[in-house]
Amino acid sequence: MNSCAPNRIKYQFCDERTAAQKEYVDNVKSGKVDALENIAKTMGSKGGQAFCGPSNGFLVEGRPLVPTAANRIEIRNEARCSNFGTDPMIGAMEWMGREIKKEYHEPEFDQARLIVGDISAPRGGCIAGRAGRRAHKSHTGGTDIDFAYFNPYAGHAPEERFTRTFYVASNWWMLKKLFKNPFACVKVVFVDKSHIRALERYAKTDPEWSKLRPYLRHIRGHRDHFHMRVGSGPGAPGCASDPDMEEAEDLGDEEGTVAKNPAEDLQDEGGDATDEVVGAPSFASLEDAAKNAEEVDPPIRKKGVASVIAPATAQAATDESTATGADRSLASGVDIAQTTLPPHKLEPAITQKYAEKRRRRTASHRTKRKHRR
């Protein structure tokens, strides 16, 4: 069960595309077809698309997720042709990409992207990694997707496309949107427990937290991305009418399992026990700056600074006691205390000063741990 059949052991799956799938991609990229309108019009007309279970299924008439000017989507490796899913899955992600474009419209966020890894092959089935091993336990029926943590400052501080840098306010905003998308109910989102703890510290006073927390699950191998599983149509979180949620994703995207492109190494970033999440403020510690926004978030206070959750090897956020004037401002230079932007836009750019402080702290922890051994 940890390997794929010989005919599935290959880097890319483009040879499995049908003529209709190729034509659809061309029409969407050329602007002849609006992907979201087409999904809304045709969803459900094909009958079932995902068959069997997440780990032993296949996909019928899979729809590709296509990056366009209408959305903020980037496929991590489009040449792999593993960006195919069911209509509800692709509808949800297409809708989310457009929501990001609509929400993060300011010039300082013009490089923000929803970065997507593997969904499924054009006809589903096992996706092989190196030496014939499975790259994922699931991803066989178009109902599972990997996508990077949302980084609204992409382009201002270039990073790897899948990174452990975790902007807690922005990602909480994105998760809430995804759980409410009009195309697919969300069964479960797999993510590392350190980020679940960060989200809880930040959003525990948000009324949505208690509703959505049961559907955020820890699973190893997910320190640098989300893994989401959806149902066969729209609905409330958990997909009560389609309860195939408990099947674990215990091989998904672990280091060394993804097939290697001769031109690009797709291996996910690894981690260690010191990769701890720090600095997440509570919703209750901020004032209501979003009361006039389209989606009202819980109250926030002007004194607080929404933080950046950063990896031990890179950066971390400042808190109020250490923030400098530059730290307390947006990338555009707008002072947080005077802005009316919603909280998910109040995260300051990460400072090199605090990054160095975090690196020293991590080195100290490692030294102490070595001495204890």
| Residues 213 and 276 placed together within one structural domain of the fold | no
Is 339:325 a contact under the CB 8 Å cutoff? no
State the pLDDT at residue 23: 97
Mean pLDDT computed over 184-207: 93
Residues of the chain with pLDDT > 70, as a percent, come to 67
Domain that holds residue 204: 6-230
Is 288:343 a contact under the CB 8 Å cutoff? no
| Residues 104 and 224 placed together within one structural domain of the fold | yes
State the pLDDT at residue 311: 32
Position 243 in a domain: no
CA angle 31–32–38, rounded 5-degree value? 100
Does the pLDDT value for residue 306 go beyond 60? no
Cα–Cα separations (whole angstroms), residue 49 to 16, 86, 265: 16, 6, 31
Domain termination site, one of 205, 230, 255: 230
Phi then psi dihedrals of residue 166, to 5 deg:
-125, 105
| Residues 223 and 299 placed together within one structural domain of the fold | no
State the pLDDT at residue 160: 61
Mean pLDDT computed over 86-106: 96
Q: How confident is the model at residue 1 (pLDDT cuts 50, 70, 90)?
A: low
Residue 85: which residues within 8 A CB-CB, separation 6 or more? 59, 62, 63, 65, 93, 119, 120, 142, 143, 145
| Residues 220 and 309 placed together within one structural domain of the fold | no
| Residues 71 and 191 placed together within one structural domain of the fold | yes
| Residues 220 and 330 placed together within one structural domain of the fold | no
158 or 264, which is more confident?
Answer: 158
Mean pLDDT computed over 149-155: 83
Count the neighbouring beta carbons within 10 Å of the beta carbon of residue 229.
24
| Residues 301 and 196 placed together within one structural domain of the fold | no
Q: How confident is the model at residue 156 (pLDDT cuts 50, 70, 90)?
A: low
| Residues 223 and 289 placed together within one structural domain of the fold | no
Q: In what order do the strands lie in the sheet with 144-148?
A: 73-75, 114-116, 144-148, 225-230, 186-190, 216-217
Does the pLDDT value for residue 236 go beyond 70? yes
Phi then psi dihedrals of residue 269, to 5 deg:
-70, 135
- How many domains does the structure of the chain reveal? 2
Does the pLDDT value for residue 264 go beyond 60? no
Does the pLDDT value for residue 362 go beyond 50? yes
Q: How confident is the model at residue 358 (pLDDT cuts 50, 70, 90)?
A: low
* Beta-sheet strands, E only, within 9-80: 50-51, 58-59, 63-64, 73-75
Position 371 in a domain: yes
Mean pLDDT computed over 342-370: 62
Q: What is the CATH number of the domain that holds 51?
A: 3.30.1380.10
The predicted-structure confidence for 16-70, as pLDDT tens digits, reads as follows 999 999 999 999 999 999 999 999 999 988 889 999 999 899 999 999 999 999 9
| Residues 47 and 117 placed together within one structural domain of the fold | yes
| Residues 291 and 176 placed together within one structural domain of the fold | no
Joined together, the tokens standing for residue 178 give: 């995804």
| Residues 223 and 279 placed together within one structural domain of the fold | no
Does the pLDDT value for residue 317 go beyond 50? no
Joined together, the tokens standing for residue 39 give: 């999904």
The predicted-structure confidence for 65-74, as pLDDT tens digits, reads as follows 999 999 999 9
Position 252 in a domain: no
Look at 47-51, 108-112, 226-230, 304-308 and tell me which has the smallest mean pLDDT: 304-308
Position 242 in a domain: no
State the pLDDT at residue 158: 55
317 or 37, which is more confident?
Answer: 37
Q: How confident is the model at residue 359 (pLDDT cuts 50, 70, 90)?
A: low
Is 184:261 a contact under the CB 8 Å cutoff? no
The predicted-structure confidence for 204-225, as pLDDT tens digits, reads as follows 999 999 999 999 999 888 888 9
Position 70 in a domain: yes
User: Do the bridges between strand 186-190 and strand 216-217 make them parallel or antiparallel, or are there none, so unpaired?
Assistant: parallel
Does the pLDDT value for residue 159 go beyond 50? yes
Mean pLDDT computed over 141-166: 82
| Residues 226 and 359 placed together within one structural domain of the fold | no
State the pLDDT at residue 347: 62
Distance of CA 346 to the CA centre of its chain: 20
State the pLDDT at residue 200: 92
Mean pLDDT computed over 139-159: 84
Position 225 in a domain: yes
Mean pLDDT computed over 128-149: 89
Position 239 in a domain: no
- Classify burial at 87, counting beta carbons within 10 Å of its beta carbon; exposed 0-12, middle 13-18, buried 19 or more: buried
Position 362 in a domain: yes
Does the pLDDT value for residue 97 go beyond 90? yes
Domain termination site, one of 230, 250, 280: 230
